[in-house]
Amino acid sequence: MPYNTPAFSFKWLSSSILGLGSAFMLTACATTGTASPGQTSGQTAKTSPAPQAKNVILFIGDGMGISTITAARIFDGQSQGKKGEEHELAFDTFENVALIKTYNVNAQVPDSAGTATAMMSGYKTNIGAINVPPALLEARSADVCNPAALPDTMTQRAQSAGKAVGILSTARITHATPAAMYGHVPLRDLEADTDIKGPFAGCSSLAQQMVGSQAEVIMGGGSKEFSNAQMQTLKTDFIYVDTKTDMKRAKTGKLRGLFNRDHMSYEADRAGSQEPSLAEMTSVAIDRLGTDKDGYVLMVEAGRVDHAHHDTNAYRALTDAQALNEAVKVAKAKAGADTLILVTADHSHVFTMAGYPVRGNPILGLVKGFNRETRTIDITEAEDGKPFTTLGYHNGPNVREADSPALTDNMVQDKDYRQQTAVNLNYETHAGEDVALFATGPGAEKVRGVMEQNKIYNVMAAAMGWED
Ligand SMILES: [Zn+2]
């Protein structure tokens, strides 16, 4: 299972998260309630007193940049026998769209912890931190390990308002994005109790904070991050399931599901397992959360689009983006008109789509262009005389070298193929350009223009009638 190894570690961050006041001046313009550069005046307006939306569903494709969306749209269309470019994903029809600026307070190209904080807490923070303000990190305050001293998150506000909360991810449930729905930690690496050491000795692990969460539904992967005692608590204090079958027939109560020791399988590898699809998890979550008369907040993360991109494996990135699209279809069908639905990415990847392929060319295939002289459609050759693919990455492990073998369509359309890259890194990186936000439902009209990522929080808060 070469694609199931969590190859990338954020351990390198631990020295830079605390202290080192670099770029700290950015904090002031990135905090809730302060006008930000690039912000249009309408987005900082006070919230309306009357709630517009009873429920909010936030879909996050981890690493699902705009090039990923375009390629996934074509991939999904071609999987239905179409040319693909004209196809529409479920969220392509949402009426409200914005560009989102994803940078972290101290990072031009962000990570998922800082970006999840922006969405869940309404302020930007340092790369690697989850729901801890940058000022406390820079000051090395002991409060970074004291959730009670930290600003409330959207989840805490929703629960105070009587709303039910659901948290779904195909990644480990202690991974950065889902963790931001229930936890506060100065460093995302603090997933298990065994990760608590050194400068973070006073912190509570994300596994421990997840066990303490009173959200109605929490499901994903990552059971290995939980101690025996924590697993026992999940099984005695909650309705605990670890198979798709048990998830679907679970009795009422607070539901906890962990379907894999590590991240859940990629959608491309899930067949024959007892792991539910993201759409199946979304369906169960909406059914259960929908019984709360006060409404609900649900976060659904396609967590592994990101991991496949880090491995420069476009096939699995696109099939996981396709799985997110299926989950959005479920939400559109099941959630009522009183539900605000948002679809976004936390950050992009260095993933490109290029080369003048003809209309309908297989999106994973070699570039085939129209030859004006022979009036035929031919494989396009690069300066080295060899073909190349439409999809590629700026950096990553499979560098195109002079002695690289000539590619064939069979090679590049294999699900294990890793697209070629320019810069040699053993793990492809995130990208820093804006991502898209698509919105429909009550309150969605605030999604427009170019927005700071933390303003997504304000859109959700305003829809639910909360003061900023
Ligand atoms: Zn990543």
Q: Which phi and psi (to 5°) does residue 366 adopt?
A: -70, 150
* pLDDT score of 335 more than 80: yes
CATH for 14-353+438-463, options being 3.40.720.10, 1.10.760.10, 3.40.50.11900, 3.20.20.140: 3.40.720.10
* pLDDT score of 287 more than 80: yes
Q: What is the b/e burial string over 104-136, where b = at least 16 CB atoms within 10 angstroms of the residue's CB?
A: bbbbebbbbbbbbbbbbbbbbbbbbbbbbbbeb
Pair of tokens at residue 234: 């999940």
Q: What integer pLDDT is reported at residue 77 of this predicted model?
A: 98
DSSP 55-97: EEEEEEETT--HHHHHHHHHHHHHTTTS-STT---TTTT-SEE
Is the pTM higher than 0.75? The answer reads yes
Strand partners, 389: 366
* pLDDT score of 345 more than 80: yes
Strand partners, 56: 297, 340
CA-closest candidate to residue 332, choices 79, 95, 154: 95
* pLDDT score of 14 more than 70: no
Ligand 1 centroid–CA 283 distance in Å is 26
* pLDDT score of 121 more than 70: yes
Q: What integer pLDDT is reported at residue 26 of this predicted model?
A: 30
Phi-psi region of 461 (alpha: psi -120 to 50; beta: other; left: phi over 0): alpha
Ligand 1 centroid–CA 109 distance in Å is 11
CB 341 within 8 A of CB 59: yes
Rounded CA-CA distance 132/169 in Å is 21
Rounded CA-CA distance 394/49 in Å is 47
| Count of helices and strands (H, E) across the chain | 15, 17
In tens, the pLDDT along 122-170 reads: 999 999 999 999 999 999 999 999 999 999 999 999 999 999 999 999 9
Rounded CA-CA distance 222/178 in Å is 11
Query: CA angle, corner 407, sides to 404 and 408, nearest 5?
Result: 160
What residue segments make up the domains of the chain, in order of their start? 14-353+438-463
Ligand 1 centroid–CA 429 distance in Å is 7
Ligand 1 centroid–CA 266 distance in Å is 15
Residue indicated by tokens 């480990």: 172
Cα 169 versus chain centre, distance: 9
Strand partners, 59: 300, 343
Share of the chain above pLDDT 70, in %: 89
Ligand 1 centroid–CA 23 distance in Å is 22
Q: How confident is the model at residue 46 (pLDDT cuts 50, 70, 90)?
A: low
Residue type, 155: T
Which amino acids are annotated catalytic? 112
Question: Per DSSP, which regions of 135-195 are E strands?
Answer: 164-172
Ligand 1 centroid–CA 29 distance in Å is 25
Ligand 1 centroid–CA 115 distance in Å is 11
In tens, the pLDDT along 52-81 reads: 999 999 999 999 999 999 999 999 999 999
Q: How confident is the model at residue 50 (pLDDT cuts 50, 70, 90)?
A: confident
Q: For 303-454, where are the alpha helices, taking DSSP H only?
A: 305-310, 314-334, 409-412
Ligand 1 centroid–CA 397 distance in Å is 15
Pair of tokens at residue 305: 């689009």
Spell out the residues 6+ positions from residue 414 whose beta carbon is closer than 8 angstroms to its own: 315
* pLDDT score of 116 more than 50: yes
* pLDDT score of 31 more than 60: no
User: Cα separations (Å) of 385 from 79, 380, 397?
Assistant: 31, 9, 22
Ligand 1 centroid–CA 356 distance in Å is 29
Which 3-state string (H, E, C) describes 371-390? ECCCCEEEECECCCCCECEC
Spell out the residues 6+ positions from residue 86 whose beta carbon is closer than 8 angstroms to its own: 77
Residue indicated by tokens 């379907």: 259
In tens, the pLDDT along 367-394 reads: 999 999 999 999 999 999 999 999 999 9
In tens, the pLDDT along 432-466 reads: 999 999 999 999 999 999 999 999 999 999 999 99
Residue indicated by tokens 């006070």: 46
Q: How confident is the model at residue 51 (pLDDT cuts 50, 70, 90)?
A: confident
Q: What integer pLDDT is reported at residue 299 of this predicted model?
A: 98
Q: What integer pLDDT is reported at residue 43 of this predicted model?
A: 47
CB-neighbour burial class of residue 79 (10 A; exposed 0-12, middle 13-18, buried 19+): middle
Ligand 1 centroid–CA 187 distance in Å is 15
